[in-house]
Amino acid sequence: MLALVDANSFYCSAERVFRPDLNGRAVVVLSNNDGCVVSRTSEAKVLGVPMGAPWFQLRDQARRSHWDLTAFSSNYTLYGDMSRRFMNVLAQFVPPEDQSVYSIDESFLDFSKHTHLHPNATALGHTIRERVRVWTGLPVCVGFGGTQTLAKMANHVAKKQPRWMGVCDLTSLSEPALHALLSEVPVGDVWGIGRRLSAQLIDGGIATAADLRAADARRLRERFSVVVERTVRELQGTRCLGWETEPPAKKQIISSRSFGAPLYTADDLMAPVHAHAARAAEKARAQGSVAGRVGVWLTTNPFRPQDPQHTPSRSVALPAPSADTAVLAAWSTALLRSIVRPGYRYVKAGVVLDDLRPHTEHQGSLFDAPRPGRAAQADRAASRGEEWDAKRAQLMHVLDAANTKWGSGHLGVGWSGIRAKQDWSMKRDMLSPCYTTDWDEVRTVS
């Protein structure tokens, strides 16, 4: 028996934990630069607020219609910490090897070896819901099924159909009852079936989850893919998906973001590119990887056709794989200067790390790639041997520890360490405090 526990409207719910006055009221959370809606409460859905709605349009509509609507800028520090707390609560119910974190607000739990401890799945689901609510303040739904796809389906039903009161156990249903329930679910709502694929399935006479469950898995594999075959078999009760207690290492790492205002020169772009290089390096170290290749790209605004357009990019193979922030920032700087052209309004930049490999497979140091234009310095560093390598490793460890404790970007190298607000900084006019990670922003009661 597997369970999927999913937080409801996670970003909005995380904001509501510290703003109880917003319970029962419409709330939305916006994307980077306060662009569009990425999370909304059920009350916002009732108002007709669609996902992806541009904020500048929604704001005007809310004013004209006198909506009671509260919007927040994305507070990733808050959401990340609330996710950590949420996952820690779920870890109380199963051993580490039986928890698989799927996303920031979802986790699978495997109770297959513990059914004797939990004979009533529905009661267990309500226990999970109540503990998460009391310990974190987050509302969640719980779905039980014999496979990950069925557990995901059960969670979907628990969210969409109030009669389940937030907990749906498909394992307790008879075959006729399960068929009837799945007949109410459009095939496009099945995990792994996207909009394009659902249209093709409907054309072939498969319109509901029950239809897909009754289909011939082999024939669908021949027509579509092995992924569809696995989905069908999972709906039929056969476990086909892997169980990951740790997320797999990424094969490519990208750090990018739009600017709060256009930038024009290499000097203007230096700080954001350094910040992206630092963040990408941090991600690489977090998964124990080194990068063999680094690239930088820029883009102008494609939605301003009156502006000249320029979307340059360039990458280079490193002399030696590295995860050192200073090394990757230096190479990113060199690449940036080689692609910037005068006369363009750049609105976004990104740094990409490719050719990622485990640092244990690399013969040499994580930090020994020479920086461009500093070959002599690199040679001297290399001649210092393991002592120099240990110092660089210790420096990166301190850097990561500081940013883990005080928030990403708190401590940086070069331009990325300048914390004053810049023109390129992300626009977040409705940012909530970091209630759980910053002593200066802890919620007070008076």
Pairing of strands 289-300, 140-145: unpaired
| Residue 370: predicted pLDDT | 56
Domains (ranges, CATH) in the chain? 9-77 (3.40.1170.60), 80-235 (3.30.70.270), 253-417 (3.30.1490.100)
Residue ranges of the chain with per-residue pLDDT less than 50? 365-367, 374-386, 417, 420
Round to whole Å and give the CA distance between 376 and 105: 48
| Residue 376: predicted pLDDT | 45
Q: Which residue has the tokens 């996303």?
A: 103
Coil vs helix vs strand at 89: helix
| Residue 325: predicted pLDDT | 87
Q: Find how far residue 360's CA is from the centre of its chain.
A: 26
Give the tokens for residue 86: 């949420």
Coil vs helix vs strand at 257: strand
Q: Which residue has the tokens 């394992």?
A: 171
Report the predicted TM-score, pTM, of the whole model to 2 decimal places.
0.76
| Residue 245: predicted pLDDT | 73
Alpha-carbon distances of 408 from 73, 80, 134, 176, 294, rounded to whole Å: 17, 11, 28, 51, 21
Round to whole Å and give the CA distance between 435 and 446: 16
Give the tokens for residue 134: 């009391």
Rg of the chain over CA atoms, in angstroms? 25
| Residue 375: predicted pLDDT | 43
| Residue 253: predicted pLDDT | 92
